[in-house]
Amino acid sequence: MKLEAWFGTLDLCEDGKVLASDLFSKNVRELALRSLSLREPGKGIPPAGFELRSAALACGFVESPEEYDFLLHEVTLEAAKLQVSGAITPDQRIILAVEALDDINETVNVLSERLSEWYGGYFPESGLSGEALALFVAKYGSRKNVDPENPLSAKAADSMGAELETLDEALIKGFATSVCSLYDRRKQIEAYIESSMENIAPNLSLLAGPMLGARLISIAGSLKKLAAFPSSTIQVIGANKALFKHLRSRAPSPKHGIIYSHPMINTAPWWQRGKISRAVAAKLALAARMDLYSGEKVPSLAEKLDAKVQQIRAMNPEPPQKKQGDGMKSKPKGKKKRRQ
């Protein structure tokens, strides 16, 4: 019988004695790749009582048990490194970027509110918030430094805010600069997600947009898992609380999850959103499978989705009419009183 070992191919007799061998070189990386391939079912299974160390010594692959143990140790370490490096697939990198983007959004929102509250005591008439306020504070600091060409110069001159001391100005400008750097980092991550989605999931990016497509992959766990989801799951993905409430009680089932941010859904009248959500989810499921198995962009998917949505809008121009008796509670039936 033939045995596929991590150091070569062995031809064994029935009692396990090595009759012939085809040995590999002692290159650690090549041997590690070889050992990983032996993890497939049916490969590298020796007969009962067979010892690989003795076989390696008998066929001349190593000269001593110590050399065998040392080489096997190096090969297993290299195999572990290869597994770790191969664990982060392109869609996993997108998932990590989406999670990092969520962390930055949460952080920058908190810091922006803090900056607005902090600087509002010195220049409450600015009317700025978010990134615009961070850029303004990082550039000017005290309202006295505002350029005359700036539209806020008149308000800065007549502001009722407190005076900003030199030490406070340096501190708040540094804080605003840090907030600006977070906004810049967010833009870089968003650009990375958009370019990565175009390469990894072009059809999903075409139909849902790169950010929504990336979030669908992130919630599913991978592009492969998303492609395995039925369209009904994709339709409500991200609406966990509403779905569980529906399953536990008599609450209505959710019509959409995070795909509500799709412009075809959130701009539609309320009575059309359920049907449009089903149509969008069906095309997204098809797009995910095409991205997984072919990776080729198919522009006709977007055209078919547009045609389907237009058909839904044409067939449902008005909200449904309520039937007579809807919302009327039936009176509980009680026992009839017996006449005296």
- Per-residue pLDDT tens over the stretch 259-268: 999 999 999 9
CB 232 within 8 A of CB 281: yes
Please tell me if the domain spanning 90-195 has the same topology as the one spanning 201-315.
no
| Segments of the chain with pLDDT less than 70 | 15-16, 39-49, 85-87, 243-244, 246, 323-340
CB 292 within 8 A of CB 228: no
According to the model, what pLDDT value does residue 49 have? 66
Q: How far is CA 179 from CA 14, 134, 168, in A?
A: 72, 6, 17
Six token digits for residue 5: 């070992």
Q: Which fold has domain 2-87?
A: Nucleotidyltransferase; domain 5 (3.30.420)
Q: Which residues, 6+ apart, have CB-to-CB distance to 320 below 8 Å?
A: 271
The type of residue at 79 is A
CB 313 within 8 A of CB 268: yes
- Per-residue pLDDT tens over the stretch 236-269: 888 777 766 767 777 777 778 889 999 999 999 9
DSSP assignment letter at 11: E
Six token digits for residue 19: 């009759």
179 Ramachandran zone, left/alpha/beta (phi>0; psi -120 to 50): alpha
Domain boundaries, the chain: 2-87, 90-195, 201-315
According to the model, what pLDDT value does residue 338 have? 54
Stretch (H or E) spanning 138: helix 130-140
Measure the CA–CA gap between 265 and 274, rounded to whole angstroms.
Answer: 8
DSSP assignment letter at 331: P
90-195 CATH, one of 3.40.50.2300, 1.10.287.4070, 3.40.640.10, 3.30.70.20: 1.10.287.4070
Helix axes 90-120 and 210-220, enclosed angle (nearest 10): 110
Q: What is the CATH number assigned to the segment(s) 201-315?
A: 1.10.246.90
DSSP assignment letter at 22: E
148: helix, strand or coil: coil
According to the model, what pLDDT value does residue 340 have? 47
DSSP code string of 184-244: HHHHHHHHHHHHHHHHH-HHHHHHH-HHHHHHHHHHHSSHHHHHHS-HHHHHHTT-HHHHH
According to the model, what pLDDT value does residue 60 have? 84
